[in-house]
C-alpha cells in the first residue's frame, strides 16, 4: 500500500513537472531541429512569441500526452534500477554509488524514453495546421509502424542512452553532494523546501550543461529521417551553424529547470498532506516503525486521532519524535534512506537533466 501511495504521489508530481516544463521543452525542440542558413527562430523568447502568435498557447503543449502516458512506467524503472544498483555497491550512500545508480537508471529507462520522445518530437515540430501530418501520439505511432515498421519507433535509441546514462549520473551525484553540503551536521532532514528546490534545480542545470550536445544530436536525428547516421547528423549540424549549432536552445533548457522542479516538489508534498488530512494514509504504523528503525530515528508512538494540518506543522518543527509520527511529508522522507520516490522536475517524461528521479 505504501509503495502504491509513493507511486501515486510521485506520478502526480511528475505530471505537474511535465505541465510546467513542456512549453519550454517545445521551444527547445523547435530551436534544435530548425535547419538551413536562415533559421526561423532567433532565440528562446522569439520562438516562444511566434508559437503563441501562430498556434496559440496550445501550440506550446504539442506532444505532451506522450510523456504523460509513460510517466508511471518511467517512475517504476528509475526507482527500481537506481535503488537496486546503489544497494549493490560497497558503500550505497556514497556519491559514487549515486552516480553509478543514476547512470544505470538512465540507461534502463531509455527503452521507454526513446520511442516516447520520438513521438513527442514529431508532434512538437508540426507548426503548420494546413500541413499537419499527425493528429496525436496514437495516430503518429500507427503511421510510423505502418510506413516504416517497428524500427522507426526506436530511432535515436543509442543517442538517448548516450544522453541519459551520464545525465542521470551527474544529476544524482550533484544533487546528493549539494544537499549534504547545505545540511547541518550531516542531517539532511534539516534542509528546507527552498534548499531542496535549489539543489534539484542546480543539479538539473549541471546535467544539461554536461550533456546538452548529445541532446541536440538526438533531437535532430529523431525528428528528421533524412539523416543516415549519427555522424551524418553531426556533420550537417556543424555545416549549417558551426559550433553554435550544438548549443542552440540551451538557455530555454536551463530556464525551465526551476519551474518544473517547483511544480514537482509542491505537488508531491501537498498530495501527501491532503491524503493525511482525509485519513487515506493513516494505516502505516508498521511501515513507519520500520523506516524509523532503519533511519535511526525515534520509535513511532501511535495516536488514536489523526492530527490536523496545523498540529502536523507544529509537531514538525518541535521534536524529532513528533516528526517521526508524520513521516509522510517531503522533508520527513528526506531522512529515510531512499524510501520515497520523487520525480524531479520534468519537461518531458524523464528528460534526464530535468526530470531525473529523486528517491527519498
pLDDT tens sequence across 148-167: 888 899 999 999 999 999 99
The pLDDT value recorded for residue 186 is 62
Whether pTM exceeds 0.75:
no
Smallest CA-to-CA distance from 29 within 296, 359, 300, 347 is with: 347
The pLDDT value recorded for residue 117 is 92
pLDDT-flagged residues of the chain (< 50): 283-287, 295-300, 317, 319-360
Q: H/E element holding 342?
A: strand 341-343
Cell of 227: 539523416
The three-state secondary structure class of 357 is: strand
The mean pLDDT value of the chain amounts to 75
Cell of 232: 551524418
> Cα 173 vs. chain centroid, distance in angstroms?
15
215, 250 contact by CB (below 8 A): no
356, 344 contact by CB (below 8 A): yes
The pLDDT value recorded for residue 165 is 94
The C-alpha angle with vertex 63 and arms to 60 and 65, in degrees rounded to 5, equals 115
> How far apart, in whole angstroms, are the C-alpha atoms of residue 157 and residue 159?
5
The pLDDT value recorded for residue 262 is 63
**Cα-based torsion angle of the residue sequence 319, 320, 321, 325 in order, rounded to the nearest 10 degrees:** 110
269, 245 contact by CB (below 8 A): no
List the chain domain ranges: 1-278
> How far apart, in whole angstroms, are the C-alpha atoms of residue 277 and residue 244?
52
The pLDDT value recorded for residue 187 is 62
Smallest CA-to-CA distance from 76 within 346, 287, 341, 261 is with: 341
Packing angle, helices 193-223 and 95-124, rounded to 10: 50
Q: H/E element holding 92?
A: none
> How far apart, in whole angstroms, are the C-alpha atoms of residue 334 and residue 332?
5
Instruction: Specify the DSSP class assigned to residue 307.
Output: P
The pLDDT value recorded for residue 81 is 85
Cell of 328: 509522510
CATH number of 1-278: 1.50.40.10
Cell of 280: 487515506
Amino acid at each position: 500500500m505504501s509503495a502504491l501511495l509513493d507511486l501515486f504521489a510521485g506520478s502526480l508530481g511528475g505530471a505537474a513537472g511535465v505541465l510546467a516544463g513542456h512549453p519550454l521543452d517545445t521551444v527547445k525542440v523547435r530551436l534544435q531541429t530548425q535547419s538551413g542558413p536562415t533559421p526561423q527562430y532567433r532565440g528562446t523568447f522569439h520562438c516562444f512569441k511566434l508559437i503563441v502568435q501562430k498556434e496559440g498557447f496550445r501550440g506550446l503543449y504539442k506532444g505532451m500526452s506522450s510523456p504523460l502516458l509513460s510517466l508511471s512506467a518511467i517512475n517504476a524503472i528509475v526507482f527500481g534500477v537506481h535503488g537496486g544498483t546503489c544497494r549493490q555497491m560497497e558503500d550505497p550512500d556514497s556519491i559514487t554509488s549515486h552516480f553509478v545508480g543514476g547512470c544505470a537508471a538512465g540507461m534502463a529507462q531509455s527503452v521507454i524514453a526513446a520511442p516516447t520522445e520520438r513521438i513527442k518530437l514529431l508532434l512538437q515540430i508540426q507548426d503548420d495546421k494546413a500541413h499537419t501530418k499527425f493528429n496525436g501520439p496514437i495516430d503518429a505511432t500507427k503511421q510510423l509502424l505502418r510506413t516504416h515498421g517497428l524500427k522507426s519507433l526506436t530511432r535515436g535509441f543509442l543517442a538517448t542512452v548516450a544522453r541519459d546514462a551520464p545525465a542521470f549520473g551527474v544529476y544524482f551525484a550533484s544533487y546528493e553532494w549539494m544537499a549534504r553540503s547545505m545540511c547541518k551536521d550531516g542531517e539532511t532532514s534539516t534542509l528546507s523546501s527552498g534548499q531542496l528546490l535549489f539543489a534539484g534545480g542546480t543539479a538539473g542545470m549541471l546535467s544539461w550543461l554536461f550533456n546538452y550536445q548529445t541532446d541536440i544530436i538526438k533531437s535532430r536525428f529523431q525528428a528528421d529521417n533524412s539523416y543516415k547516421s549519427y555522424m551524418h547528423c553531426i556533420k550537417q549540424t556543424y555545416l549549417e551553424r558551426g559550433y553554435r549549432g550544438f548549443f542552440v536552445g540551451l538557455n530555454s533548457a536551463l530556464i525551465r529547470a526551476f519551474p518544473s522542479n517547483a511544480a514537482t516538489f509542491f505537488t508531491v508534498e501537498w498530495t501527501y498532506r491532503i491524503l493525511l488530512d482525509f485519513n487515506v494514509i493513516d494505516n502505516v504504523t508498521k511501515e513507519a516503525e520500520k523506516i524509523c528503525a532503519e533511519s535511526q530515528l525515534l520509535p513511532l508512538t501511535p495516536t488514536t486521532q489523526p492530527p490536523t494540518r496545523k498540529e502536523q506543522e507544529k509537531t514538525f518543527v518541535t521534536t524529532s519524535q513528533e516528526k517521526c509520527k508524520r513521516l509522510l511529508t517531503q522533508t520527513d522522507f528526506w531522512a529515510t534512506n531512499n524510501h520515497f520516490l520523487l520525480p524531479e522536475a520534468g519537461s518531458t517524461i524523464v528528460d534526464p537533466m530535468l526530470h531525473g528521479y529523486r528517491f527519498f
